[in-house]
C-alpha cells in the first residue's frame, strides 16, 4: 500500500502516550506526519511535551499492518478519513486545542454547515425534556440547522429522531469505532441517521465503547457546533462534561430551566447559576441569541459592508493577514496583542464567512 500522509496521521494516533495535543505539537514542528516518523529520536525528544520516552515510542512503532487494515475497512464501508489538514475536517473543531488528529466519518451531512447545534441531556429524560427537545428541533427546520448528539438513550435519541422526522441533517458522535453501534438498541436509528446525516468518531474500527472514551467523544460534540443546548441533566454526568467543554471552547451554552426540586435538571440550574449557560426559553429566543433571525435570507455584501459587520478583533486580524500573502498563527498572536482564545474565535468567524482560508501548518491567507 502506498503510504500517504493520512496513513502516517492514523499511525500517529496509535502510539501510546501521544494524544491530540502532542500530535498537534509534532505536526506543527515537523509539518507532516511522515516527517515525524522519519525524524531522528533526538529531534523528536526535543519537541515540547514529547521527551525521550514518547520519542522512543514513535521510533519503535511497527504496527503499520493495522493502519493498512483500517484504511481498507474504511474504503470498503465508504468511511471518510478526515485528517487534520483535510478540507472537510470540521473547522469549528479544528480550532479547539485538543482537536482529534484524525476523524472517521460515514455519512452525507456537511460537518461545516453554517448552522450547527449540539443537543444533549440525560439518558432518563422526563416527558418535559422530550417535549422541549422536540419543540426546539421542529422549530429549527426553517433554518437548515445540523443537529449533533451522542446516539445515547434519552435526549440524544429524541434529538436524532426529531431531526430525521423534520428532514434536518443529524450527526451521531460515537465513543467507539464504526465497526459496531452502541447501544446496540440504536442500530436501526443509526441506519436512519445515515440516510440524512452521519456517524462520526475519532476511534478506529476495533475500539469498544469503554467508559474512558465518552469524555473524549464529548469534546467533539462540544467543539463541532456553534452552541450546545442542555435539555436535562443531573449535577454529574456526561452532559455536564460536554457543557463545561463547550464553555471552555468559548461556545454558547444554553440550559433549560426547571423546578428547583427536579434532580433531572439540577445540572442545568447549576450551569445557569454559574453564568456558564444562557437560560433557554424558546426556539425563537435561541435563534435571536445566535443571530440566525435572517437565516433564510441571502444577502450579498460588498467588502466594505462586510468589514463594517466584523468585530474589532476580526478587523484587527483581517488587517494583519491582509498585509502579507500568507501568515503563521504565531505571528498573528504577536502582532494582534489579543488573547489566544479571542484570536481563535475571530479566525473561526473569518473562515466561516469565507474571508480567510487556513493552510497546512497553521498558515492563513485572504480568500
What tens digit of pLDDT does each residue of 40-68 get?
999 999 998 899 999 999 999 988 889 99
Residue 294 confidence (pLDDT): 58
Q: How many CA atoms lie within 13 A of 19 on its CB side?
A: 7
Q: What is the pLDDT of residue 307?
A: 54
- Residue whose cell numbers read 469505532: 177
Say how far apart CA 151 and CA 129 lie, in whole Å.
16
Q: pLDDT value at position 303? A: 46
Looking at per-residue pLDDT, the higher value among 237 and 120 belongs to 120
Domain-by-domain residue ranges, the chain? Answer: 5-76, 105-290, 303-366
Which is higher by pLDDT, 297 or 184? 184
- Domain spanning 5-76, CATH architecture: Orthogonal Bundle (1.10)
Question: Residue 29 belongs to what H/E stretch?
Answer: helix 20-30
What topology is assigned to 105-290 in CATH?
Rossmann fold (3.40.50)
Q: Tell me what the mean pLDDT of segment 21-37 comes to.
A: 90
CA contacts within 13 A on the Cβ side of 114? 12
Please report the pLDDT score of residue 337 as a whole number.
Answer: 84
pLDDT, tens digit (0-9, with 9 covering 90-100), for 72-131: 999 999 999 998 878 899 999 988 989 999 999 999 999 999 999 999 999 999 999 999
Mean pLDDT of the chain: 90
115's grid cell: 448552522
Class at the top of the CATH hierarchy for domain 303-366: mainly alpha
pLDDT of 299: 41
Residue 288 pairs in a beta bridge with none
The whole-number pLDDT of residue 81 equals 96
Amino acid at each position: 500500500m502506498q503510504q500517504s500522509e493520512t496513513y502516517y496521521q492514523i499511525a500517529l494516533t496509535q502510539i501510546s502516550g501521544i494524544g491530540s495535543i502532542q500530535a498537534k505539537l509534532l505536526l506543527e514542528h515537523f509539518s507532516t506526519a511522515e516527517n515525524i516518523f522519519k525524524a531522528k529520536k533526538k529531534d523528536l525528544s526535543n519537541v515540547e511535551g514529547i521527551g525521550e520516552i514518547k520519542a522512543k515510542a514513535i521510533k519503535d512503532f511497527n504496527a503499520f499492518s493495522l493502519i493498512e487494515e483500517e484504511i481498507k475497512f474504511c474504503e470498503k464501508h465508504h468511511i471518510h478519513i478526515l485528517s487534520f489538514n483535510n478540507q472537510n475536517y470540521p473547522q469549528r473543531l479544528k480550532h479547539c486545542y485538543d482537536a482529534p488528529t484524525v476523524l472517521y466519518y460515514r455519512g452525507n451531512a456537511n460537518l461545516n454547515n453554517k448552522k450547527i447545534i449540539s443537543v444533549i441531556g440525560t439518558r432518563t429524560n422526563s416527558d418535559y425534556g422530550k417535549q422541549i427537545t422536540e419543540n426546539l428541533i421542529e422549530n429549527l427546520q426553517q433554518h437548515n440547522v445540523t443537529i449533533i448528539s451522542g446516539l445515547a438513550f434519552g435526549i440524544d435519541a429524541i434529538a436524532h429522531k426529531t431531526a430525521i422526522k423534520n428532514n434536518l441533517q443529524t450527526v451521531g458522535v460515537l465513543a467507539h469505532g464504526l465497526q459496531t453501534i452502541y447501544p446496540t438498541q440504536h442500530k436501526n436509528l443509526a441506519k436512519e441517521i445515515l440516510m440524512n446525516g452521519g456517524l462520526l468518531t475519532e476511534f478506529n474500527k476495533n475500539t469498544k465503547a469503554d467508559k474512558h472514551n465518552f469524555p473524549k467523544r464529548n469534546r467533539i460534540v462540544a467543539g463541532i457546533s456553534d452552541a450546545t443546548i442542555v435539555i436535562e441533566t443531573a449535577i454529574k454526568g456526561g452532559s455536564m462534561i460536554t457543557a463545561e467543554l463547550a464553555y471552555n471552547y468559548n461556545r454558547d451554552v444554553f440550559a433549560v430551566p426547571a423546578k428547583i426540586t427536579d434532580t433531572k435538571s439540577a445540572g442545568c440550574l447549576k450551569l445557569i447559576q454559574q453564568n456558564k449557560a444562557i437560560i433557554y426559553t424558546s426556539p425563537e429566543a435561541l435563534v435571536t441569541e445566535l443571530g440566525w433571525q435572517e437565516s433564510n435570507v441571502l444577502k450579498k455584501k460588498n467588502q466594505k459592508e462586510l468589514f463594517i459587520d466584523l468585530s474589532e478583533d476580526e478587523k484587527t486580524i483581517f488587517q494583519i493577514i491582509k498585509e502579507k500573502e500568507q501568515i503563521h498563527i504565531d505571528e498573528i498572536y504577536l502582532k494582534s496583542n489579543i488573547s489566544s482564545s479571542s484570536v481563535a474565535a475571530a479566525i473561526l468567524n473569518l473562515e466561516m464567512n469565507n474571508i480567510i482560508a487556513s493552510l497546512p501548518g497553521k498558515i492563513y491567507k485572504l480568500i
